[in-house]
């Protein structure tokens, strides 16, 4: 099969096309808003029902980079919800988020993907020890890989934001962790970390699109490094934070002194409800402000709110107020109001990550991938937050990685 | 004399310090708002009454680049106004734009600079042919250079925006232009171009901070190239356009499709009054939209207004509304409201340009300096508008230019 | 038939119910956006598919006022377009403006109303003299009234905004006008005034929802007064202007001094295209600013723009920037951004006007109705622009008019 | 002495002028920002250094109402701070809040007022029982009244916002309260209520400009009613809340359904610091939302934040986002950004209240004055929040009260 990297301009297939066969995208939270949008989108792009607007990897900078085509991505996942993808997609179309004709056009695809969704591991599932859950989830992923003869599987966590767990020794020591997991009475890990460990066990590439603990616990990263998987994170940079990491460098390049950067986010939908939980919102707020502080300095006063406003549905509206000091201490103020369906900002990034982590895996890269920082509020393996610098780094990485892949290497794959 | 590149952190003087002696800054429109802010600022920075907030060249990226110190810049200029700088500065302090204690602190400096201001050439000055005006103005600059033993003089046009002249053959052919100038009955050039030609005649580096014709007429650029001066332009990128060239790349990097970018600018003060003239505003609007179109494509719908609102004084408030299409054609909107004293955004850029063009001149560079595009709505010698790319280019240029200057070269200067 | 005044709370029918039978609503521009929204809405409200949100007359202040029920309004009209209402409604549903289930629910109603739409009189229709056009249009309305046994017909002009015609003597003298109309070679009236005169000829109540000339020409008002019809206008107060007449009194009540009030409107859709014509926009801009000046004084600096931004579709976004001087001349600024489907703001006002003008007609009122100023940018017969005062006046008028209607009077009707 | 009601247009003195002699304004928190602005303002208006912009009572609706002239108001007060008014005024002028020339013009007046400021009662003042404090403070006010031969004294609390105290039986029963106050070991009242009780004891009119407990405790109101003083409150309606009570009626009059109204306030200065205390901010937030709920219904989702952003100084910036449902459930959004010096909005209201409460006292009115609701977030004696209705009520009250004052009555005064 010859891959066809998509682009808005429908160019001819790249010379150095992806020749490895299909790849897998395994979504943790496969029936949530972001996953539904991503699944609808991938199938719509594969069927050329829509141009790949919003996908960075569809841009001209990625022409010639051997990424899997949209029609080469096989999708499955875990979820604790039983609401079928078709139903979720219809609800999101009625809410105005997904275009109804597109949903109608991929209806049968959604049923097909739904058949690949397995029961997730819930925090409240006391009938299953965490050790068993990890094995069961990993087996689901491996089975998926084998049944579809997939060259690589990329696991991406797009489930609801969890509260951050209190620190404990097991998070820092793989052996302590193993002991705790072996005890069926203990539930040492948050669900996102159970899922992350299953991804590691199955030898899949992994990305954490949420601010939940996921793979970020040191013991888990050690295990991921031992297993030799590539991974990336954390917390998708979709809206307000994207804007901040674009704007903050403007102030610093011009020698201005940012004094305060206040923000308020209004949203409803499932995300709004999740973030109405003060513990969950705390992990979100922390990751939203880290980039800002890194870019303008820790003197910045940066109150930040996320309000659950159910009537606004899935549209997120974010207002920011920036006060910077300019020449001779004169006041400069900038206000921004950003309004968009947050899940529709997230979905193309999930697709980009699936494509890019497949490439990384094909190229034998392991450990944290700093170049993926472009997509995250909390980049792993990098302290670069400035968006333009991240874009440059991503493009360089893609070019270098593509060059590193001799055609033979591509066909050999990444045997572990 | 040992130069001390200023920085917010008051570092020790750079090892490779400027060793050439003082440089000149000659302002066309030396008694206008921007000039007054720049003069007050340079003298305040020299006296360490204020940190160099807003000056790009005071940033850490320029440590080690042999730029003239703030106390090494001698200032003069042309103006058609008789209102002394001291009076202008007081009025701007009363209006809240300039800090009163700073103005008080440099009061005697202002009188000193005022003594270096010579009568400009007005469009309505029918007692003087344009040829004579050019000679007179050039002589003023040369005299200033000689009297102060200046290593270099940088001429920067910060005068009021003119209407763009209708095209004519003389603008394209130096010989036709010379003939027309020789005829006292003709007034072939707009005043900004008379001033630019005087800068060329005097062998000074030149930058055009306004959208007026200035040096941009092809015949004048030919003459500048023959004379071997470095030059840069055009139209300072201070507020709304700065923001646009920062934000537009975000949309394109993320594969979003910008459909419209509407803008409204409200301002009073002298600038508001100047731009209330439909002909003058036309040249401003044209240069404001060029960068946008270059960044997001010429399909963009971009209505743009500049309204004279006298009661707002010198604070400029700009509202932009951006509509971008994201994944599966969903709508993303971004509104920005930027509010600042426009002249206070411009002044530090004028200082940066004075320092950087001195360096270019010292390094023997001639012709348009593409790296200066960082400062302009209409970069000369470059079609790069994306702000982050311009910042990278500027830093590289500064480093490379500094390296090109062996200590000997620095002391030899730029003999023409 | 017993009328049922609708209200959000589904109260029991008012004691003093409307007992006159059905009334007619005749729309000039019956296939435009506003008309389509109004027709879909009236039929949906009649069928109780939706609550009467946005209708002032559905509020508790109008309980007991004998207004026609939503199911007692028979709709017809004129249009120069052949696109059926069903098609227009579908397009507006696809664009997200009309809810698709509502449109589906009234599909057969739309076809029924469409059968009552007659060919309008176009400015370019040179096969028909204006005198003949007036007679033809008036006959259409009379025929509609007779066929449906309507107690009253209310004609409302919701057609596209026209350029304002240059003044001429015929506009001021009914006899001169009659002579000009008698000459088939002359086209003395703009189309909106031809339609208004047809409404007068047919003895219908009339309201002008656009800023076009319509009935506003003095000669036409004289004729309307002679004919004894009630009429109202002009230019529906839907969004930005509504907001201004709500906010401006706040400043004046508190003794603040409004210095400037700048505004920019962005819209696409048919309205955006119409207003891209500088002549048409001029009549709109004039009526938008008149209320403001009346409320805060003519010293106010009030630049105002309407930009056609096709990609924004029917959503209108308006940004206003207000600068007021407060205590000891300190600066107060207020920015507002209003975003809504303009036609969806207009449609319920059209319904309110149909109900209220029916009542006025039933009560034998003639001439301009000042209490209708609540709905208009340019109130006729009143110079009150402050919204709260208009609301009070409207409620008083409704109560007084209801009291003036003895049950007998209601059954006698308005014999002319 | 003949009073001269001030107005922007400098009309001739009203026929029915104030003939009672001078009145007293006693400020609790007399050296805070609001007090300083009010004192500077009253003296500047008395000296005709500035027009009475921002004062409702200077409007034409109050011509003929016998209010004390600005030059008839004698000022004193309590404060726990020792920073002299002159110093506070200078600091506020340096911060750009107060105009420096005005402060200079009233410099000696400030010293004079400062001499009338007595030591307030601090929560931490354990050397003084609350009973003694009440007597001491009341004696200060009486002494002020007698020394200056004042016809009336109006006490206005403009001190910092306190945390609301937990409820207790003494707050509801004057006798229990008296017993508790008699016990030197108990500190049953918050400081604002100690001050309020002192006002009652001294027989002065009273207004509570803050959300602190003040006179609002039922036992205190009973005592105030027994003493026969007129009083008003609570929490000055200056900025965002003012705007909300102006805008909310627009939505309801037009039958729109407000779903959510989210708000964020950014401010620094002393007020920002005070409100950084979660307990203090709670009382503020509660009173801010009460009016909104009363106007649009308790279904409204209304998250509200007050953030302390020290770098913004005394300028308060408030962003509100309103989502209303319109016709056929379509979405309407309104965003407002209000920016002003909050103390400069408050000061003229304090002056208005001083004048109006003097009038009420002269007219022998006692108990809560519902017509003063115009000035407050939490009107006392009224549940009207709609601003336009409040304005109407205030004007009617002023006219009626003026009519109730026969000239004789005016000269007799309000003997208690």
pLDDT single digits (tens) D316-361: 999 999 999 999 999 999 999 999 999 999 999 999 999 999 999 9
pLDDT tops 70 at residue B3: no
Mean pLDDT of all residues in chain C? 89
Would you call A311 and D319 a contact, using CB atoms and an 8 Å cutoff? no
Question: pTM of the entire structure?
Answer: 0.92
pLDDT single digits (tens) A347-386: 999 999 999 999 999 999 999 999 999 999 999 999 999 9
Nearest CB to D344; choose among C56, C243, C327: C327
SS3 for D66? coil
CA distance A194 to chain B (A): 31
Ranges of each domain in chain B: 23-236+344-412, 240-340
pLDDT tops 90 at residue A39: yes
pLDDT tops 80 at residue C270: no
Would you call A309 and D319 a contact, using CB atoms and an 8 Å cutoff? no
Instruction: Write out the two tokens for A256.
Output: 């201005």
Would you call C328 and D255 a contact, using CB atoms and an 8 Å cutoff? no
Instruction: Write out the two tokens for B147.
Output: 């009297």
Instruction: Write out the two tokens for D4.
Output: 């001269």
- Smallest Cα–Cα separation from D413: which of D152, D227, D155? D152
pLDDT tops 60 at residue B218: yes
Number of H helices, E strands in chain D: 14, 11
CA distance D260 to chain A (A): 7
pLDDT single digits (tens) B123-161: 777 778 899 999 999 999 999 999 999 989 999 999 998
Would you call B326 and A339 a contact, using CB atoms and an 8 Å cutoff? no
Cβ–Cβ contact B143 with C under 8 A: no
pLDDT single digits (tens) B187-214: 899 999 999 999 999 999 999 999 999 9
**Mean pLDDT to the nearest integer, C143-152:** 95
C-alpha angle C394-C395-C398 in degrees, rounded to nearest 5: 85
Instruction: Write out the two tokens for D394.
Output: 């205030």
pLDDT single digits (tens) C392-415: 999 999 999 999 985 544 433 333
pLDDT single digits (tens) A141-165: 999 999 999 989 999 999 998 888 9
User: Is the pLDDT higher at D272 or at C300?
Assistant: C300
Cβ–Cβ contact C333 with D under 8 A: yes
- Smallest Cα–Cα separation from C213: which of C201, C225, C186, C195? C195
SS3 for C103? helix
Q: What is the DSSP string of D72-140?
A: GEEEEEEES--S-HHHHHHHHHHTTSS-HHHHHHTHHHHHHHHTTEEE---TT-TTS-HHHHHHHHHHH
Q: What span, in angstroms and rounded, lies between the C-alpha atoms of A170 and A187?
A: 11
Contact C215, C196 (CB under 8 A): yes
Cβ–Cβ contact D97 with C under 8 A: yes
User: What pLDDT does residue A6 have?
Assistant: 36
Handedness of CA A103, A109, A115, A121 (dihedral sign): negative
Nearest CB to B250; choose among A242, A335, A347: A242
Q: Which residue in chain D has the smallest CA separation from A317?
A: D321
Query: Cβ contacts (< 8 Å) between D266 and chain A: which residues?
Result: 260, 262, 303, 321
Query: Cβ contacts (< 8 Å) between B388 and chain A: which residues?
Result: 249, 253, 386-389
User: What pLDDT does residue A20 have?
Assistant: 58
Would you call C328 and D41 a contact, using CB atoms and an 8 Å cutoff? yes
Instruction: Write out the two tokens for A345.
Output: 């900002």
pLDDT tops 80 at residue D11: no
How many CA atoms are closer than 13 Å to the CA of D272, on its beta-carbon side?
Answer: 22
Work out whether strand B23-28 and strand B73-79 pair parallel, antiparallel, or are unpaired: parallel
pLDDT single digits (tens) C339-367: 999 999 999 999 999 999 999 999 999 99
User: What pLDDT does residue B271 have?
Assistant: 76
User: What pLDDT does residue D274 have?
Assistant: 77
User: What pLDDT does residue D291 have?
Assistant: 86
Q: Which residue in chain B has the smallest CA separation from C303?
A: B307
pLDDT tops 90 at residue C9: no
Would you call B326 and A54 a contact, using CB atoms and an 8 Å cutoff? yes
Cβ–Cβ contact C96 with B under 8 A: no
User: What pLDDT does residue A380 have?
Assistant: 95
Q: Where are the beta strands (DSSP E) in B29-95?
A: 73-79
Cα diameter, chain C: 67
Mean pLDDT of all residues in chain B? 89
Query: Cβ contacts (< 8 Å) between B37 and chain A: which residues?
Result: 327-328
Phi, psi of A191 (to 5 degrees): -55, -35
User: What pLDDT does residue A233 have?
Assistant: 84
Handedness of CA B132, B138, B143, B146 (dihedral sign): negative
pLDDT tops 80 at residue A169: yes
User: What pLDDT does residue A18 have?
Assistant: 44
Omega before residue C338 within 30° of 0, cis: no
User: What pLDDT does residue D72 have?
Assistant: 95
Q: Which fold has domain D240-341?
A: Dihydrodipicolinate Reductase; domain 2 (3.30.360)
Instruction: Write out the two tokens for A336.
Output: 């921004």
User: What pLDDT does residue B407 have?
Assistant: 59
Q: What is the ipTM of this complex?
A: 0.91
SS3 for D327? helix
Interface subset of D 265-304, CB within 8 angstroms of C:
none
Contacts of B214 (CB under 8 A, 6+ apart): B157, B192, B193, B195, B196, B208, B220, B233, B234
User: What pLDDT does residue B20 have?
Assistant: 58
Contact D252, D296 (CB under 8 A): yes
Q: What span, in angstroms and rounded, lies between the C-alpha atoms of A376 and A394?
A: 12
Q: What is the DSSP string of B52-93?
A: -TT-GGGSGGGTTS-PPPGGGEEEEEEES--S-HHHHHHHHH
Report, in this order, helix, strand and coil percent for chain B, each rounded to 5. 50, 15, 35
Contacts of A385 (CB under 8 A, 6+ apart): A245, A248, A291, A294, A295, A373, A379
Alpha helices in A254-301 (DSSP H): 269-275, 278-296
Q: What span, in angstroms and rounded, lies between the C-alpha atoms of C122 and B103?
A: 67
Contacts of D153 (CB under 8 A, 6+ apart): D23, D24, D25, D26, D141, D144, D145, D202, D204, D205
pLDDT single digits (tens) B290-332: 889 999 999 999 999 999 999 999 899 999 999 999 999 999 9
Interface subset of C 335-374, CB within 8 angstroms of B:
335, 337
pLDDT single digits (tens) B381-401: 999 999 999 999 999 999 999
pLDDT tops 60 at residue C13: no
User: What pLDDT does residue D289 have?
Assistant: 82
Question: Which chains pack against D, by 3+ Cβ pairs within 8 A?
Answer: A, C
Contact D321, D333 (CB under 8 A): yes
Q: What span, in angstroms and rounded, lies between the C-alpha atoms of A128 and A73?
A: 31
Contact C308, C275 (CB under 8 A): yes
Cβ–Cβ contact C118 with B under 8 A: no
SS3 for D334? strand
> What percent of chain B clears pLDDT 70, i.e. is strictly above it?
92
Cβ–Cβ contact C257 with D under 8 A: yes
pLDDT tops 50 at residue B14: no
Q: How far is CA C4 from CA A378, C73, C105, C403, D83, in A?
A: 60, 12, 21, 18, 68
Instruction: Write out the two tokens for A270.
Output: 């499932």
What radius of gyration, in Å, describes the C-alpha atoms of chain B? 21
pLDDT single digits (tens) C76-120: 999 999 999 999 999 999 888 999 999 999 999 999 999 999 999
Would you call B301 and C311 a contact, using CB atoms and an 8 Å cutoff? yes
Give the pLDDT band of residue B228 (cuts 50, 70, 90). very high
Cβ–Cβ contact C50 with D under 8 A: yes
pLDDT tops 70 at residue B19: no
Instruction: Write out the two tokens for D179.
Output: 């017993």
Q: How far is CA D203 from CA B411, C339, D194, D318, in A?
A: 85, 52, 14, 38
**Per-residue b or e along C41-58, where b marks 16 or more CB atoms closer than 10 Å to that residue's CB:** bbbbbbeebbbbbbbbbb
Q: What span, in angstroms and rounded, lies between the C-alpha atoms of D304 and C403?
A: 45
**Mean pLDDT to the nearest integer, B76-85:** 96
User: What pLDDT does residue C16 have?
Assistant: 35
Instruction: Write out the two tokens for B155.
Output: 């001429």
pLDDT tops 60 at residue B413: no
pLDDT tops 80 at residue C72: yes
Would you call C56 and D339 a contact, using CB atoms and an 8 Å cutoff? no
Q: What span, in angstroms and rounded, lies between the C-alpha atoms of C316 and C308?
A: 10
Would you call C250 and D246 a contact, using CB atoms and an 8 Å cutoff? yes
Among A1-5, A178-182, A359-363, D167-171, the range scoring the smallest mean pLDDT is A1-5
Contact C19, C85 (CB under 8 A): no
Q: What span, in angstroms and rounded, lies between the C-alpha atoms of B23 and B44?
A: 17
Instruction: Write out the two tokens for A120.
Output: 């997730």
Query: Cβ contacts (< 8 Å) between B56 and chain A: which residues?
Result: 253-255
Query: Cβ contacts (< 8 Å) between C310 and chain B: which residues?
Result: 301
Q: What span, in angstroms and rounded, lies between the C-alpha atoms of B356 and B349?
A: 10
Cβ–Cβ contact D122 with A under 8 A: no
Token pair 């508001």 is found at B272
- The residues facing C193 across adjacent strands are none
Would you call D262 and A266 a contact, using CB atoms and an 8 Å cutoff? yes
- Smallest Cα–Cα separation from A1: which of A17, A14, A12? A17
How crowded is residue D212: how many other Cβ atoms within 10 Å of its Cβ? 29
- Smallest Cα–Cα separation from B27: which of B109, B85, B105? B85
Would you call C55 and D250 a contact, using CB atoms and an 8 Å cutoff? no
Cβ–Cβ contact A321 with D under 8 A: yes
Compute the CA torsion angle B5, B9, B15, B20 (nearest 10 deg).
10
Q: Where are the beta strands (DSSP E) in C49-204?
A: 73-79, 117-119, 153-157
pLDDT tops 60 at residue D14: no
Mean pLDDT of all residues in chain D? 89
> What percent of chain C clears pLDDT 70, i.e. is strictly above it?
92
Would you call A335 and B337 a contact, using CB atoms and an 8 Å cutoff? yes
Where does B240-340 sit in CATH, by number?
A: 3.30.360.10
CA distance B358 to chain A (A): 19
pLDDT single digits (tens) D91-149: 999 888 999 999 999 999 999 999 999 999 887 777 788 999 999 999 999 999 999 99
Would you call B260 and C309 a contact, using CB atoms and an 8 Å cutoff? yes
User: What pLDDT does residue A9 have?
Assistant: 31
> Please, what is the angle between helix A174-182 and helix A218-227, to 10°?
100
Where does D23-236+344-412 sit in CATH, by number?
A: 3.40.50.720
According to DSSP, residue A1 is labeled: -
Query: Cβ contacts (< 8 Å) between D340 and chain C: which residues?
Result: 326, 330-333
Encode A126-163 in three state secondary structure. CCCCHHHHHHHHHHHHHHHHHHCCCCCEEEEECCCCCC
Instruction: Write out the two tokens for B345.
Output: 């955004």
CA distance D49 to chain A (A): 28
Contact A274, A163 (CB under 8 A): no
User: Is the pLDDT higher at D171 or at A122?
Assistant: D171
Contact A7, A64 (CB under 8 A): no
**Mean pLDDT to the nearest integer, D197-207:** 97
pLDDT single digits (tens) D386-397: 999 999 999 999
C-alpha angle A47-A48-A53 in degrees, rounded to nearest 5: 125
Would you call A319 and D264 a contact, using CB atoms and an 8 Å cutoff? yes
Give the pLDDT band of residue C203 (cuts 50, 70, 90). very high
Q: Which residue in chain B has the smallest CA separation from C333?
A: B312
Give the pLDDT band of residue A129 (cuts 50, 70, 90). confident
pLDDT single digits (tens) A312-323: 998 999 999 999
User: What pLDDT does residue D347 have?
Assistant: 97
Q: What span, in angstroms and rounded, lies between the C-alpha atoms of A272 and A293?
A: 25
């Amino acid at each position: 099969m010859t891959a066809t990297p998509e682009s808005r301009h429908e160019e001819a297939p790249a010379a150095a096309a992806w020749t490895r066969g299909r790849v897998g995208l395994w979504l943790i939270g496969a029936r949530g808003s972001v996953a539904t949008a991503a699944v609808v989108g991938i199938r719509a792009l594969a069927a050329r029902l829509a141009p790949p607007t919003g996908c960075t990897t569809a841009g001209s900078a990625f022409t010639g980079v051997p990424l899997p085509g949209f029609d080469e991505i096989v999708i499955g996942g875990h979820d604790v919800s039983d609401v079928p993808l078709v139903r979720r997609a219809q609800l999101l179309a009625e809410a105005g988020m997904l275009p109804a004709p597109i949903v109608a056009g991929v209806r049968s695809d959604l049923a097909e993907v739904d058949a690949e969704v397995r029961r997730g591991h819930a925090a409240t599932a006391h009938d299953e020890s965490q050790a068993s859950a990890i094995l069961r989830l990993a087996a689901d992923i491996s089975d998926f890989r084998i049944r579809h003869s997939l060259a690589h599987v990329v696991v991406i966590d797009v489930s609801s934001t969890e509260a951050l767990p209190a620190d404990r020794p097991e998070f820092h020591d793989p052996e302590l962790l193993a002991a705790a997991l072996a005890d069926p009475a203990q539930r040492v890990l948050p669900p996102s970390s159970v899922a992350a460990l299953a991804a590691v066990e199955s030898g899949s590439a992994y990305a954490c699109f949420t601010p939940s603990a996921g793979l970020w616990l040191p013991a888990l990263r050690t295990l991921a490094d031992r297993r030799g998987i590539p991974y990336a994170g954390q917390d998708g940079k979709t809206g307000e934070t994207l804007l901040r990491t674009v704007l903050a460098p403007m102030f610093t390049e011009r020698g201005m002194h940012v004094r305060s950067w206040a923000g308020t986010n209004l949203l409803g939908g499932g995300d709004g409800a999740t973030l109405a939980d003060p513990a969950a919102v705390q992990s979100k707020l922390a990751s939203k402000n880290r980039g800002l502080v890194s870019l303008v300095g820790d003197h910045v006063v940066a109150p930040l709110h996320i309000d659950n406003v159910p009537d606004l549905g899935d549209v997120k509206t974010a207002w920011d107020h920036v006060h910077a000091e300019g020449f001779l201490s004169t006041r400069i103020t900038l206000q921004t109001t950003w309004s968009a369906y947050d899940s529709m900002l997230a979905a193309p990034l999930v697709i980009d990550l699936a494509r890019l982590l497949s490439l990384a895996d094909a190229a034998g890269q392991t450990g944290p991938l700093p170049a993926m920082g472009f997509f995250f509020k909390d980049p792993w393996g990098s302290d670069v937050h400035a968006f333009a610098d991240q874009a440059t780094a991503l493009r360089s990485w893609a070019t270098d990685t593509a060059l590193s892949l001799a055609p033979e290497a591509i066909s050999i794959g990444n045997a572990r």
